[in-house]
Amino acid sequence: MAQPSVPRKSTGRPPRISLSEILDAARRIVDEDGVDRLTMRRLASEMGSAPMAVYHHVRNKDELLVMLLDDYAAQNLRRFEPPERARDRVLCGADAIHEALVGCPWIVEVLTADDLLSTSALWFVEQIVDGLVQAGLTLDQAVRGYRSIWYYTAGEIVVKTTAARRRSDDRRTTFRDQVFADLDRSELPRLAQAADRWASLTSADTYREGLAALVDGLLQSVQSQT
């Protein structure tokens, strides 16, 4: 009795893929495994396509990352009505950036390379720089001031994200806890006094408080020179 024939796999062109499908797949990879694991070859493989199909839409990984940055910024960065007070405009701009990025730490990792950026986010940078200029800084001082604000913002997110990841991966007493439990009070009296509360104190959300102090310090340094 003749056996039914088995349909042969198509040898034609692989299915076409869209740019939105590429971005969705790339986002899944970086969300699950990090930016370093994103390659054009892996992206194509996970989409069941050939690398050339991806390159038809995206020239390289850097361009793909910029597209991801712009896509995320367009969806998560919300423009605000700039306050009249220059200081408040700086605070609102920085706070908006922080609020958008804190939920997506891999983007901070990309941005800290300092050569890739989202053009959609430049409006917020403009508010910070212009606010600093309106508050009395020169343009050069304002750009350096923005850099300090960005370093503070990015550093706060990276530290908290890394700490949270370590705590979720290992529930055992941390090395820091072991050290702080046995501090020499004669040599480190202040640290010993705060040792039992160190973890809770340093994990508290004090971003806005620190941001305000940083901005006020920038403005006061200029006022003291005049």
Any idea which of 21-30, 125-134, 155-164 has the lowest mean pLDDT?
155-164
Taking a C-beta distance cutoff of 8 angstroms, is the pair 146, 128 a contact?
Answer: yes
Place of tokens 């194509």: 44
Place of tokens 């004669």: 186
Q: How confident is the model at residue 185 (pLDDT cuts 50, 70, 90)?
A: very high
Q: Which CATH superfamily is domain 82-224 in?
A: Tetracycline Repressor, domain 2 (1.10.357.10)
pLDDT of residue 15: 53
pLDDT of residue 169: 63
Give the CA distances from residue 115 to residues 110, 137, 157, in Å, rounded to whole numbers and listed in that order: 9, 25, 19
Residue 111 has pLDDT above 50, yes or no: yes
How far is residue 18's CA from residue 180's CA, in Å, rounded to a whole number? Answer: 54
How far is residue 9's CA from residue 69's CA, in Å, rounded to a whole number? Answer: 38
Residue 132 has pLDDT above 90, yes or no: yes
Does residue 149 or residue 69 have the better pLDDT? 149
Please compute, for residue 166, the number of CA atoms within 13 A of its CA located in the half-sphere on the CB side: 11
Residue 177 has pLDDT above 60, yes or no: yes
pLDDT of residue 10: 44
pLDDT of residue 9: 44
As a whole number, the mean pLDDT across the chain is 87
Does residue 87 or residue 115 have the better pLDDT? 87
Please give the average per-residue pLDDT across 15-28, as a whole number. 88
pLDDT of residue 7: 44
Question: What's the one-letter identity of residue 31?
Answer: D
Residue 146 has pLDDT above 80, yes or no: yes
Residue 151 has pLDDT above 90, yes or no: yes
- What pLDDT, in 10s, does the model give residues 187-219? 999 999 999 999 899 889 999 999 999 999 999
